[in-house]
Amino acid sequence: MKLEYASKYNKKTIAVFVKKTECKKHDLSSSESEHEKIFKCLLNDKNYTTCMPYAIAENDGKRILFVTYSEVKSYENETWKMAGHNLLKAMKDNHIKNIDVDLSSLAPETYSSLCLGMLLSSYSFTKYFGEKKLSCLHIIDSITLVSSDKKNTETAIKSAQNVYQHVAWARDMINEPSNAVYPETFVSIAKKECKSRNIKVTTIDMKQMKTLGLNGILAVNAGSKNPPAMFIGEYKNPKAKKTIVLVGKGVTFDSGGMSLKPADSMVTMKDDMGGAAAVCGALFLLADKQVNANIIAIAPLTDNKTGSGAQNPGDIIKMYNGTTVEVLNTDAEGRIILGDALAYGVKKYKPDYIIDIATLTGACPVALGKHASGLMGNDKKLIEAIKEAGDTTYERVWELPMFSEYKDQLKSQVGDIVNTGGRGAGTIVAGFFLSNFIDETKWAHIDIAGTAFLDAPHNYLPQGATGVGVRLLTKMVKNLIK
C-alpha cells in the first residue's frame, strides 16, 4: 500500500475524519445508539448511504467518506492510530482502492500516529496464497494525504513507514512456518537487514557453543536435527554513553520436547521466536534512527524437539555461568536458552542495561490476556522506562511482583535450581529463574506469551503475529538515554 502526500485532491473518494462526540451536539434522542446518532447528523443536508463507523456521501460523481473516531482516554497516540485503522476498515468494507485524505481538520502532531495506524492495519501475510486466493483479496493501492503542510505530512509518512517496515518484518518472521524459519534461515534473513545498516553480526554456531559452554542452548537443541545458533547484532554509536543489550527468545518451534505439548497447544508454536524477531526489529529501527546508544541484540535460536538425543526430565545442565539446572519439564525451555544468552550478554558486553523479551509462559496470558505483556525487573528507572514506552506505543506492560518468597519454588534437591516451579505464579517464577543469570546488571524481563500472536484480529493487530516489542523496545531505549 502506497502512502503519499499531495497538495490537491485528484481521486474520486475523499476521506474526512469526524470525532464521534462532536455528533452529540445535534439534538438526538438518547435512546438511539451512537452509530445512529452519527448517521443522523451526517444526514442533515445531503444524501448519504452508510454503514458504521463511517458514512458515505455521494454528490456529483464525488464521494465523501466520513470516518469517525473516538478518543482513547489517556492514550493520545492510540486515538490517532485507531482513526487510521478505521479509515482502512472503511476502505476494505467498501472496496475502495484509492483515496484522498483531508488532513485540514487535524493537528500536525497527530499525523505520524494516523499514518502508523493505517500501515499497521494494512498488513496481511499472503506469501503462501495461490493465485486464485490472491485474486479474491481486496488490495488497497494508495492513500494520499492532502494538506497544505507538506513538510510535516511528509516527515510523518516517512517516520511511520520506517517504524512499520520493522514491525512488518517481525510479523513476517513469526508468521513464517517452522519449515521456513529455523535457526540457520533466521540468521541469514536477519544478516541481510544488518548489511545495509552498519550493524556488526556475529553468529555463534554449535561448535563454538560447545567450546564456550553454552550448555543450556545445546541441551534444548539436543532433540533436533537443526543445529542451534546464537545471532548477535551490534549497532555502535561513537557518541554513545550507554550500552543496552536486548535478548530475545528464539525457539523456532516448540513441541515441548519430551514433556510433549498436547496437539492443540502446539499448533501456533512457530511463534515461540517472537522475542528474537522483536529484538532484531528494534535493533534495525534504532540503527535507522541512529540512536545515541550502543545496542546489542542477542537471539539464542533453536527448536525444541523430541529426537533421539533429546534431553529428558530429570536431566541436569551446567549452564554457561556455572549454575546447575535440574530440568523438571522440557517444555520450560525458553528460560534455559535465555539463561545462557543473558549470562553471555552480561559477561561479554558489560551493559548498563539488559532486557529480555520472550513468549515465555502460558501463565502470562492466563493472568493478563492479550492486552498487556508481563514485566519484571530489578531497577526502578528501567521499569519506569518500559512502562512509559508501553503507554506511548500502546504495547502496554503490567509489572508483576518480585517477592523473594517466590524464589523458593525454584529449589532443587539435586542441583542449584529447577527449571519449573509448579503451577502457581508461573510467570513470576520464570522471571526469578532468569534473575540467576544477570549478576548485578540492571535487568528487566518482558513476557509476551499473550501478546505476540492472536487467534483473531484486534483493531490494527492482525490475526497471527502482532510484532509486539519492536515499538516498545525502541521507545524504551529512547527513554533510557534521554
Choose among 356, 388, 348: nearest CA to 479. 388
Contacting residue, 172, 254, 356, 447, with Zn ion by CB under 5 A: 254
What residues form DSSP beta bridges with 296? 234, 245
Listed in sequence order, the DSSP H helices in 94-182 are: 111-122, 131-135, 150-175
Sign of CA dihedral 360, 366, 370, 375: negative
| Minimum CB distance to Zn ion, residue 303 (Å) | 10
| Minimum CB distance to Zn ion, residue 390 (Å) | 25
CA distances from 371 to 149, 234, 420, 447, 469 (A): 35, 31, 25, 12, 13
Position of cell 541484540? 297
- In degrees, rounded to 5, the angle at the alpha carbon of residue 238 between the alpha carbons of residues 236 and 240 is 80
Site residues for Zn ion, 306-335, by CB under 5 A, read 331, 333
| Minimum CB distance to Zn ion, residue 254 (Å) | 4
CA distances from 176 to 166, 185, 277, 296, 325 (A): 15, 11, 11, 24, 32
Looking at the Cβ atoms of 134 and 267, the one nearer to Zn ion is 267
Whether the CB-CB separation of 6 and 100 falls below 8 Å is answered with: yes
Looking at the Cβ atoms of 176 and 331, the one nearer to Zn ion is 331
Output the DSSP codes for 246-259.
Answer: EEE-EEEEE--TTS
| Minimum CB distance to Zn ion, residue 130 (Å) | 33
| Minimum CB distance to Zn ion, residue 304 (Å) | 6
| Minimum CB distance to Zn ion, residue 77 (Å) | 34
Concerning whether 261 is annotated as a catalytic residue, the answer is yes
Concerning whether 423 is annotated as a catalytic residue, the answer is no
Whether the CB-CB separation of 435 and 354 falls below 8 Å is answered with: no
Phi and psi at residue 143, to the nearest 5°: -125, 125
Q: How many residues bind Zn ion (CB under 5 A)?
A: 3
Looking at the Cβ atoms of 101 and 325, the one nearer to Zn ion is 325
Looking at the Cβ atoms of 271 and 333, the one nearer to Zn ion is 333
What 3-state DSSP class applies to 371? coil
Instruction: Give the C-alpha separation, 210 to 218, whole Å.
Output: 8
User: Given the rule CB under 5 A, which of 202-210, 222-230, 240-248, 252-260 is the region that contacts Zn ion?
Assistant: 252-260
Q: Which residue out of 305, 335, 370, 396 is catalytically annotated? A: 335
Looking at the Cβ atoms of 306 and 378, the one nearer to Zn ion is 306
Q: Which residue out of 261, 289, 318, 348 is catalytically annotated? A: 261
Site residues for Zn ion, 331-350, by CB under 5 A, read 331, 333
Looking at the Cβ atoms of 96 and 327, the one nearer to Zn ion is 327
Q: Which residues contact 71 (CB under 8 A, 6 or more apart)?
A: 19, 21, 79
| Minimum CB distance to Zn ion, residue 265 (Å) | 9
- By beta-carbon distance, which residue lies closest to Zn ion? 331
Looking at the Cβ atoms of 79 and 420, the one nearer to Zn ion is 420
Instruction: Give the C-alpha separation, 86 to 52, whole Å.
Output: 10
Residues marked as catalytic: 261, 335
Residue ranges in contact with Zn ion by CB under 5 A: 254, 331, 333
